Amino acid sequence: MKELIEYIAKALVDNPDAVEVNEIEGEQTSVIELKVAKEDLGKVIGRQGRTARAMRTILSAASTKLKKRAVLEILE
């Protein structure tokens, strides 16, 4: 899951070196924290949160296949 979000985020931003992804795993749920450069935050969130919503949809579809639950947190 971590690699998937990292791949998508690096494709979206201007500064891919500043992309940081941390995964905190629990028994049923894993929280994925995404941190990007301040100037790239708008690109990751998108207009009215559309890009962020799309990333969360892809993540939930992939995690359902693994019979787990994943939550994406975008950090400032």
Question: In the prediction, which pLDDT does 76 show?
Answer: 85
What's CA 12's distance to the chain center, in Å?
11
d(CA 29, CA 8): 21
Helices of type H across 1-76: 2-12, 41-45, 50-65
Question: In the prediction, which pLDDT does 71 show?
Answer: 95
Whether this prediction's pTM lies above 0.85 is answered by yes
d(CA 11, CA 24): 23
- Assigned CATH class of 2-75: alpha beta
Torsion, Cα 74 43 1 60, to 10 degrees, reads 80
Residues 7-66: tens digit of each pLDDT: 999 999 999 999 999 999 988 899 999 999 999 999 999 999 999 999 999 999 999 998
